[in-house]
Amino acid sequence: MTTRRDFLKTSAGAGVGAAVGLGSVKPLRGAPAVHRSMVTPVAVASGNGLEAVTTAIRVVNEGGDTLDGVVEGVNIVERDPNDSSVGFGGLPNLDGVVQLDSSLMHGPSRGAGAVACLEGIKTPSRVALDVMRYTDHVLLVGKGAQRFAVSMGHQVEDLLTERSRRRWIEWRARMSDRDDYLTPEESGNRVPPFEDAEDYGTSLLDSHDGVRPLGTINCNIVSRDGDLSGVTTTSGLAWKIPGRVGDSPIVGAGLYVDNDVGACGSTGRGEAVIKTCGSHSVIELMRAGMAPVDACLEALRRVVTFTTEARLRDPEGRPNFNVNYYAVNKNGEYGGAAIWSGARFAVCMDGEARHEDSAYLFERGS
């Protein structure tokens, strides 16, 4: 009798491209077809996605759709005022305005939807879902995206929390000593201390691998039937130039799903992911037979190659920023990788959610 373990070994060695649904595309190396009922549902997400993967798996196990599962999962983080990387409470741009980006893809229907520079809506992923379901377009931006969101019943709200506004005020004050904004020290500490003052220190201005705070959530899932979906959502780079769009809402960069192969998404420096078509590259590498973790590492090597700017390299010539990929294939194999060691990702499988260490290219401190 073939156990699930044997099956995965066989199919992994033979290449993911052998999965069902290839149509006229020739299976790779004559691998056996995937028996749909043998995939254990798996969800993977960025490290801040433990609740998201748990929710996504619950929705799918209850018979829900894979895309509804991952969107419901990331909505928890988008609505969380204490997560400063996404949605409500996300860190704002240069002008103190929160601008959100999100994209999603539904494997079985090959659907995609995205929004960029969206202001005032707590759950940009749900607007991206409406773009996919209710329009002929894939990507809406700025005011048009907001008008569309309102037409679909989304509420426009102030997305700055007291905490994120304070962090922006602090950043603005420390930007230059040649303007009229004062830091608490410059004002002779006349400013009442912030409740969680230690959180706002200069470290926060320089806390993300030597660059400004930058967070995102990506969540991908494969169901028992081998169907895949993924979503990425973010408030993007803190203090960005208004109008800046990162990788998260760009299909092929911050997210890609091919129901024949797998799903992948990214977090980290979006500019580097866009230049290398990151998530699409991971999918193509998996289609060629690579395991998810190896495909993620190979795509990260391309990021390293594309990092030619001296300002973005450390003294050893390595990127001075991080990029993370999270991927799952149609067989239920999954992996996460980052440029730098120390990253973790969330995974839920067999009803158990946990963090796992990401593979990496470079050891911190080396």
How deeply is 296 buried, as exposed, middle or buried, from its count of CB atoms within 10 A (0-12, 13-18, 19+)? buried
Task: List C-alpha distances in Å: 356 to 44, 50, 157, 268.
Answer: 10, 11, 35, 18
The residue among 11 and 102 lying less far from ligand GLY, judged by its C-beta, is 102
Dihedral pair phi/psi, residue 255, rounded to 5°: -165, 140
Provide the minimum distance between the beta carbon of 351 and ligand GLY in the complex, in angstroms, as a whole number: 30
Q: Is 292 in the site for ligand GLY (CB under 6 A)?
A: no
106's CB contacts (< 8 A; 6+ apart) are: 65, 66, 67, 112, 132, 229, 257
Contact between 247 and ligand GLY per CB under 6 A: yes
Rounded least distance, CB 66 to ligand GLY, Å: 22
Region binding ligand GLY by CB under 6 A among candidate stretches 121-129, 136-144, 234-242, 346-354: 234-242
Cα–Cα dist 71/233, whole Å: 10
From residue 258, alpha-carbon distances to 111, 152, 344, 346, 364 in Å are 10, 28, 24, 21, 33
If one asks whether residue 270 binds ligand GLY (CB under 6 A), the answer comes out as yes
Give residue 297's identity as a one-letter amino acid code: L
Closer of 87 and 226 to ligand GLY (Cβ): 87
> Could you tell me the smallest distance in angstroms from the CB atom of residue 35 to ligand GLY?
36
Residue number with CB closer to ligand GLY (236 or 335) = 236
Helix intervals (H) in the chain: 4-14, 50-61, 66-78, 124-134, 142-151, 162-174, 202-205, 270-275, 278-287, 292-306
In the complex, least distance from residue 87 CB atom to ligand GLY, rounded to whole angstroms: 13
Helix-, strand-, coil-residue percentages of the chain, each rounded to 5? 35, 25, 45
Among 246, 292, 335, 336, binds ligand GLY (CB under 6 A): 246
Total residues in contact with ligand GLY, by rule CB under 6 A: 13
CA atoms lying within 13 Å on the CB side of residue 116? 16
Contact call for residue 56 and ligand GLY (CB under 6 A): no
Residue ranges in 197-216 that form contacts with ligand GLY under rule CB under 6 A: 214, 216
Q: Measure the CA–CA gap between 25 and 284, rounded to whole angstroms.
A: 14
Selected binder of ligand GLY within 75, 99, 103, 234 (CB under 6 A):
234
CA 157 to each of CA 17, 45, 89: distance values in angstroms, whole numbers, following the listed order = 44, 27, 11
Which of 216, 232, 234, 267 is labelled catalytic? 216
Give the range of 40-48, 204-212, 266-274, 338-346 binding ligand GLY by CB under 6 A.
266-274
Nearer to ligand GLY, 122 or 287 (CB): 122
Interface with ligand GLY, residue 99, by CB under 6 A: no
The answer to whether 3 is a known catalytic residue is: no
Binding ligand GLY (rule: CB under 6 A), the pick from 49, 268, 292, 319 is 268
- Contact residues toward ligand GLY (CB under 6 A) are 214, 216, 234, 236-237, 246-248, 254, 267-270
Residues that are catalytic: 216
